[in-house]
Chains A and B, each alone.
Chain A
Amino acid sequence: KAGVTQTPRYLIKTRGQQVTLSCSPISGHRSVSWYQQTPGQGLQFLFEYFSETQRNKGNFPGRFSGRQFSNSRSEMNVSTLELGDSALYLCASSLAGTSPSNEQFFGPGTRLTVL
């Protein structure tokens, strides 16, 4: 079974621009979560999508948004980029369900650099 994939793997943007990142989950997984990883801050939760609906949201400004399509693929968008948005953006997919032990499988990440 193919793992979680993310595109693009690397991006360089300038301040004020916007960017869209894509995540394709493992086949059969209906939940997709997004995280921002920066040195010293660990994995900070952005949002989670399940069945095309945002189910949970972290403490990030409204410039960060996302969506999920009917095939469970997800995109996240960052508008009006700031230097502090430079980070590795990881998505993770998991089976749907209420069990807390549904394992999250991570993608390789998209490295975003804002100049």
Chain B
Amino acid sequence: GENVEQHPSTLSVQEGDSAVIKCTYSDSASNYFPWYKQELGKRPQLIIDIRSNVGEKKDQRIAVTLNKTAKHFSLHITETQPEDSAVYFCAARTSGNTPLVFGKGTRLSVIA
């Protein structure tokens, strides 16, 4: 089955700097890659996603890139702010009938 590896497990950045979180997946049939943000004590929420027919997607300060050949995708956060501090999870799935497989998460701390 699908396996998703996520790095790093923790990341600290200065406010205003950029943060990059990377994930690799094993199943070449995977074609949907969401990113979830989980603030302390709260539920995970979708922040951005990308499908395999697209190489990059942006939403304000957040962007996701996908390299299908290498089977990896990354989350980029620019101009980080303290409210970006949270745990971020990447995930992958092949179809609506298969489960989302999550990475183990990255704890991002933005230092003011």
By a beta-carbon cutoff of 8 Å, the part of chain A in contact with chain B is 4, 33, 35, 40-45, 48, 55-56, 58, 90, 96-104, 106-109
Contacts and interface: CB of A to CB of B under 8 A. Distances in A.
Contact of B99 (A42, A45, A90, A107): A45
Given A42-B89, A42-B105, A106-B43, A99 B100 contact: no
Interface string B36-63: 1000001111100101000000000000
B18 interface: no
B46 to A, nearest CB: 6
12 contacts: A42-B105, A45-B99, A48-B99, A56-B98, A100-B51, A100-B95, A100-B98, A101-B49, A103-B46, A103-B49, A104-B46, A108-B42
A98 B46 CA distance: 19
Interface of B: 6, 9, 31-32, 34, 36, 42-46, 49, 51, 89, 91, 93-105
Given A43-B89, A90-B44, A104 B102 contact: no
Given A41-B104, A45-B99, A58-B99, A100 B93 contact: yes
Contacts of A43: 44, 89, 91, 102, 105
A103 B48 CA distance: 10
Nearest 4 pairs between A and B by C-beta?
Answer: A100-B32, A42-B104, A43-B102, A106-B43
